[in-house]
């Protein structure tokens, strides 16, 4: 019998893929990168102003195995169980920057 082991990087990538699907359904541009030497991340941009973007990572947050999305600088966005909430928060942040 073989056992499949899912690494943290693979799990993070799965969570980012859920967020990516949600963001793209809202018209946002998303590029996911999974370099072997760093944590997977997603670069999220409003297609109207692609120079304004945010980098997002997914990481375990609690000992119970719960994961959350975070901005690259460490501020929590939302639980990975709710990619729609994360997409809404990212949309508000990027729209506010665009409007300033």
- Who contacts 23 (Cβ-Cβ below 8 Å, separation ≥6)? 30, 42, 44, 87, 90
Q: What is the mean pLDDT of the chain?
A: 87
d(CA 12, CA 22): 16
CB atoms within 10 A of CB 8: 13
pLDDT of 30 higher than 80: yes
Which segments of the chain does DSSP mark as H helices, in order? Answer: 8-25, 83-99
Give the residue, 100 or 54, on which the prediction is more confident: 54
Q: How confident is the model at residue 82 (pLDDT cuts 50, 70, 90)?
A: very high
- Mean of the pLDDT values across residues 73-90? 95
pLDDT of residue 57: 96
């Amino acid at each position: 019998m073989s056992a499949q082991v899912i690494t943290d990087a693979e799990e993070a990538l799965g969570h980012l893929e859920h967020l990516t699907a949600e963001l793209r359904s809202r018209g946002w541009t998303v590029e996911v990168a999974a370099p072997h030497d760093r944590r997977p991340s997603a670069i999220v941009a409003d297609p109207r102003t692609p120079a304004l973007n945010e980098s997002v990572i997914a990481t375990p947050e609690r000992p119970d195995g719960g994961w959350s999305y975070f901005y690259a600088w460490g501020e929590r966005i939302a639980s990975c169980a709710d990619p729609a909430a994360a997409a809404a928060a990212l949309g508000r942040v990027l729209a506010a920057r665009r409007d300033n």
